[in-house]
């Protein structure tokens, strides 16, 4: 069994245990040895971060090839229409290539904790919320996707990774659970080389 930590990372906390610039880190909240983040969440993003003490589980959660779905609640500037949402669902071409299709929908403002400091909004520009699910992990991908449809991200909260969610966790809180650890990939066996048969003895050499 592997240990898995579900942590609600607050705004402006690094997804690492130390920092030489004095910024807040995971070490300010999680006093556990030998657990490591499975993936990352940006300094200016909030929400679910998973940590584990198991290497294969860490890889299965964080490595892009497993396409583990991640759901975000995203406050954006403006009000995207169906045409903009369809672009997200079909995949958008970013500077590092096209994204995989996402699940995207408009939602009512979720009942979330207040952010400190609060989001800066403009009285003359409305804002709205999206629920966005992707199965990739590019750098600042969600922010780049909403910017590409003309609606910059104001606040980003990761709510769910796979079957694990933030339900019941306030900012800075964590809970531990145990899960079955995936087996590490089996080492490939090298095929044995067949020995090439030696030269047949000449008839004069036979006994």
Q: Report the 3 state secondary structure along the chain.
A: CEEEEEEEECCCCCCCCCCCCCCCCHHHCCCCCCCEECCCCCCCCEEEEEEECCHHHHHHHHCHHHCCCEEEEEEEECCCCHHHHHHHHHCCEECCEECCCCEEEEECCCCCCCCCCCCCCCCCCCEEEEEEEECCCCCCHHHHHHHHCCCCEEEEEEEEECCEECCCCCCCCEEEEEECCCCCCCCCCCCCCCCCCCCCCCCCCCC
Q: How far apart are CA 61 and CA 55, in angstroms?
A: 10
Kindly give, in sequence order, each residue whose CB lies less than 8 Å from that of residue 39, ignoring residues fewer than 6 positions away: 15, 49, 50, 61, 62, 137, 161
What's the token pair of residue 52?
């584990």
Are 19 and 56 part of one and the same domain?
Answer: yes
Q: How far apart are CA 181 and CA 39, in angstroms?
A: 17
**Per-residue pLDDT tens listing for the chain (207 residues):** 999 999 999 999 999 999 999 999 999 999 999 999 999 999 999 999 999 999 999 999 998 888 899 999 999 999 999 999 999 999 999 999 999 999 999 999 999 999 999 998 888 889 999 999 999 989 999 999 999 999 999 999 999 999 999 999 999 999 999 998 887 655 455 656 665 555 555 544 444
Closest CA to 171 of 24, 3, 16: 24
Catalytic positions: 42
How does strand 70-77 pair with strand 36-37? unpaired
Residue 195 lies in a domain: no
Are 82 and 106 part of one and the same domain?
Answer: yes
Are 76 and 58 part of one and the same domain?
Answer: no
Are 50 and 88 part of one and the same domain?
Answer: no
Residue 10 lies in domain: 1-66+163-184
Are 16 and 50 part of one and the same domain?
Answer: yes
Residue 146 lies in a domain: yes
Are 152 and 91 part of one and the same domain?
Answer: yes
* The predicted structure's pLDDT at residue 201: 54
SS3 assignment for 47-78: EEEEEECCHHHHHHHHCHHHCCCEEEEEEEEC
What's the token pair of residue 169?
């966790």
Domains of the chain: total? 2
Are 90 and 150 part of one and the same domain?
Answer: yes
Residue 206 lies in a domain: no
* The predicted structure's pLDDT at residue 14: 98
- In the chain the first and final C-alpha atoms are separated, in Å, by 65
Domain with residue 97: its CATH number is 3.30.70.1560
* The predicted structure's pLDDT at residue 192: 62
How does strand 46-52 pair with strand 153-161? parallel
Residue 193 lies in a domain: no
């Amino acid at each position: 069994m592997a240990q898995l930590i579900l942590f609600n990372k607050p705004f402006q906390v690094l997804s690492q245990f130390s920092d030489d610039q004095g910024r807040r880190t995971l070490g300010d909240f999680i006093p556990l040895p030998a657990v490591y983040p499975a993936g990352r969440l940006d300094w200016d993003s909030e929400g679910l971060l998973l940590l584990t003490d198991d290497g294969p589980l860490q890889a299965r959660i964080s490595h892009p090839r497993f396409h583990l779905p991640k759901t975000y609640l995203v406050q954006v500037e403006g009000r995207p229409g169906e045409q903009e949402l369809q672009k997200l669902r079909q995949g958008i071409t970013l500077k590092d290539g096209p994204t995989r299709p996402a699940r995207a929908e408009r939602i009512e403002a979720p009942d979330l904790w207040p952010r400190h400091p609060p989001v800066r909004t403009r009285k003359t520009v409305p804002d709205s919320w999206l629920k966005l699910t992707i199965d990739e992990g590019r750098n600042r991908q969600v922010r780049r996707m909403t910017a590409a449809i003309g609606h910059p991200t104001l606040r980003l909260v990761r709510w769910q990774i796979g079957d694990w969610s933030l339900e019941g966790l306030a900012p800075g809180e964590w809970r531990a659970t145990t899960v079955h650890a995936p087996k590490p990939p089996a080492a490939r066996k090298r095929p044995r080389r067949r020995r090439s048969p030696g030269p047949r003895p000449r008839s004069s050499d036979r006994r």
